[in-house]
Amino acid sequence: MENENNKEINQNFSFFENADVQEYFADLNIELLSGRHIQKDRFYLYKLLKDYYNELSFYYEKLYGLELLMETRENSKYYYVDYPDTSKGALANPSRHKMLTQKQTLIGLILLNMYYEQYFENKKEVRFADIKKEIKESENNILYKKLFFNKVQDDYLEGDWSIKVIKPFKSVLREFSRLGWITNLAVEDGEEIHFVLREPIIRFQKLYEKEITNFTEFSEKYLSQLQ
């Protein structure tokens, strides 16, 4: 039986002998194992996933115990690898909190909400002015102001916006860019933030399902730590 299993694995791994796999697999493997979501703009890696999906699925299952997943959102397809129990949500597993701090999780929730607000727009473009408006005027504005500034007022000093909002947002945007959830765009004079929200940001909703569902509980816990 063991010999038969080894034969099956060898047969399924024979695709590594193909020229296109030999040329691009190393880059693909690094990207997937780092948590990146691969879309069409990564042309060669995307094509490799499309052409060898079954073979690569077998590879990641056998060697890493991971699932190679393909999802479609707004007619855009993307691939990524994950553990089978992702849907349990971050709150259910304390180890998942190592992924993002509470402030970073809060920012992720804001960006996810902004994604849905622009759901029917082809290009979900965001600048700092949009983030500022979300914090000041959205239905959660009171909570957002408390969570970012620890006080509620109509507006705040530019220095406060820079330290308490722009700086942590930039940190999260770097991480989300690495994951393929956003694409940073060129900034104009005087701008600090400019990016496009991409379809794979929906993964955040799966990873932090319980924080989203219990946003008030999450906010109160965060606020208690700020006081």
pLDDT grade for 226, boundaries at 50, 70 and 90:
confident
Strand order, beta sheet including 194-197: 124-127, 194-197, 182-184
Let me know whether 43 and 119 are in one domain: no
Q: What's the pLDDT score for residue 3?
A: 46
Let me know whether 63 and 114 are in one domain: no
What domain count does the chain have?
A: 2
Q: What is the CATH number of the domain that holds 140?
A: 1.10.10.2260
Query: Contact, 103 vs 168, CB < 8 A?
Result: yes
pLDDT grade for 93, boundaries at 50, 70 and 90:
very low
Q: What are the pLDDT digits (tens) for 102-127? A: 888 999 999 999 999 999 898 999 99
Separation of CA 110 from chain center = 13
pLDDT grade for 85, boundaries at 50, 70 and 90:
low
Q: How far is 177 from 126, CA to CA, in rounded Å? A: 14
Let me know whether 113 and 221 are in one domain: yes
Last residue of a domain, one of 31, 61, 84: 84
Neighbours of 191 (CB within 10 A): 12
Let me know whether 75 and 97 are in one domain: no
Let me know whether 127 and 204 are in one domain: yes
Residue 5 has pLDDT above 70, yes or no: no
Treating both helix axes as pointing N-terminal to C-terminal, what angle do 43-51 and 53-64 enclose, rounded to 10 degrees? 90
Range(s) of the domain holding residue 42:
2-84
Q: How far is 210 from 96, CA to CA, in rounded Å? A: 12
Q: How far is 117 from 124, CA to CA, in rounded Å? A: 9
Q: What is the CATH number of the domain that holds 59?
A: 1.10.10
Question: What does pTM read for this prediction?
Answer: 0.82
Query: Contact, 21 vs 165, CB < 8 A?
Result: no
Mean pLDDT of the residues in the chain: 87
Last residue of a domain, one of 37, 52, 84: 84
Q: What are the pLDDT digits (tens) for 126-166? A: 999 999 999 999 999 999 999 999 999 999 999 999 999 99
